[in-house]
Amino acid sequence: MKKKKIINDPIYGFISVPEGLIFELIEHPYFQRLRNIKQVSLTHMVYPGALHTRFQHALGAMHLMGLAMETLKGKDIEITSEEEEAVIIAILLHDIGHGPFSHSLEHSIVEGVSHEYISDRIMDDLNKSFEGKLTLAIAIFRNQYPKLFLHQLVSSQLDTDRMDYLIRDSFYTGVTEGVISFNRIIKMLTVANNELVVEEKGIYSIEKFLIARRLMYWQVYLHKTVVSAEQMLIRILHRAKQLGLEGQSLFATPPLQHFLERQVTKESFEKSPVHLATFLKLDDIDILASMKVWVGHPDRTLSLLCRQLLSRQLNRVEILNNEPDDKYLERIKAVAMQYFSLSKREVDYFVYSTVISNSAYDIENESINILMKDGSIKDITEASDLSNLEVLSQTVEKYIVSFPKELHSKALI
């Protein structure tokens, strides 16, 4: 028997980690880096307790995967010890490619590159370091392994990733609408036709899961103040990168400097291993340390944006059901230019519009299937007697208009 390390998690209690490959991966610097990347970016500016990290989330998802393995094996689903270890490694490393502030700066530091792609590259790098011991885990992660249900536990509409982040984000924000019956959901999992399904008696827990996901998006992830802060952060990095590419003197930590001074695309990221090695040194600390210095930068736009974000002087956000009229935006920009003495080039950093969307259940790409008592399999929207599940499968798009709150408080617009 392998010895086990114990980690005390505030949600699940004691999490067991077996010594060996899994423990070595957790101890690896690539994984330890996740301690310094917040799970929900700048959400703590609205919910002060939301300071948990990707490190905590990865361990939680790993724990839930272990529970899922116990459940499925207890129902005589054939899973070897090698497959069990591999699927646990796959979920443990699923977020290892996240950059600073998680989704906020995705596609910003490296253009057109998602965290999933970077996670994939990092797994390949780790596989070389561990002499091919991650090959099976990578095959499961990429959905290239015959047992499809193993990949679905890592990435699907009912994976252990989503289960953990809903319960964890709910716990740390205090938003109780996100609480789900994860234990019951896992106990109701089984396999039919090589795919993950839920036993019929678990329908109500799945309904609650989908509703909780919908509510958490509007109340937490897409809360208008959170959106305001994250949009300001994106524009800070965009302005800093613009100055860096122009050759202007700009303080930054060495890893951040690397990306500010050059345009790193997906193509160049693939060709040069230096970019990946440098990316793996980046976390929230690099951005925060640099922003504190940029407050005193001679570029007025960069300085003002950093000062506002660090002191939580956030933009006002209006949420609209329809796309804002161009004339409306131009009027706000004109007022902002006059009030703050901004140029046409500068005003776009302070007044802008963007789209936010929320879809709790993507029925077109993949289903959550229910195994009925008669042996038939139905999609949750068909099996459930809740008529609003059909509505939850629809993507809702809203538009935001963001501008300095001074313009509103002084009744200038």
- Would the pLDDT of 377 be above 90? yes
What is the SS3 assignment for 58?
Answer: helix
List C-alpha distances in Å: 179 to 172, 206, 284: 11, 12, 27
52 catalytic residue (yes or no): no
How many independent structural domains does the chain possess? 2
Q: For residue 337, give the CATH number of its domain.
A: 1.20.1250.30
Same domain, 341 and 390: no
Q: What is the mean pLDDT of residues 28-55?
A: 97
Do 199 and 330 fall into the same domain?
no
CATH of residue 194's domain is 1.10.3210.10
Asked if residue 337 and residue 216 are part of one domain, the reply reads no
The pLDDT value recorded for residue 2 is 59
Q: Are 384 and 328 found together in one domain?
A: no
Confidence of residue 411 (pLDDT cuts 50, 70, 90): low
CA angle 284, 287, 291 (to 5 degrees): 140
For the chain, the average pLDDT equals 93
Query: What span, in angstroms and rounded, lies between the C-alpha atoms of 198 and 211?
Result: 17
33 in a structural domain: yes
Global confidence as pTM = 0.94
The catalytic residue among 115, 151, 223, 297 is 115
**Same domain (yes/no): 149, 167:** yes
Assess if residue 38 is contained within a domain.
yes
pLDDT tens per residue across span 241-266: 999 999 998 999 999 999 999 989 88
Q: Give yes or no: residues 178 and 215 share one domain.
A: yes
Same domain, 50 and 153: yes
Domain extent, residue 328, equals: 315-359+395-413
**CA distances from residue 86 to 116, 120, 124, 130, 137 in whole angstroms, order as listed:** 18, 15, 14, 13, 4
Model confidence at 408: pLDDT above 90: no
217, 320: one domain:
no
Q: Is residue 276 part of a domain?
A: no
CA-based radius of gyration for the chain: 23
The verdict on 215 and 320 lying in the same domain is no
If asked whether residues 389 and 327 sit together in one domain, one would say no
- Same domain membership, residue 140 and residue 31: yes
Residues 334, 388, single domain; the answer is no
Residue 107 lies in a domain: no
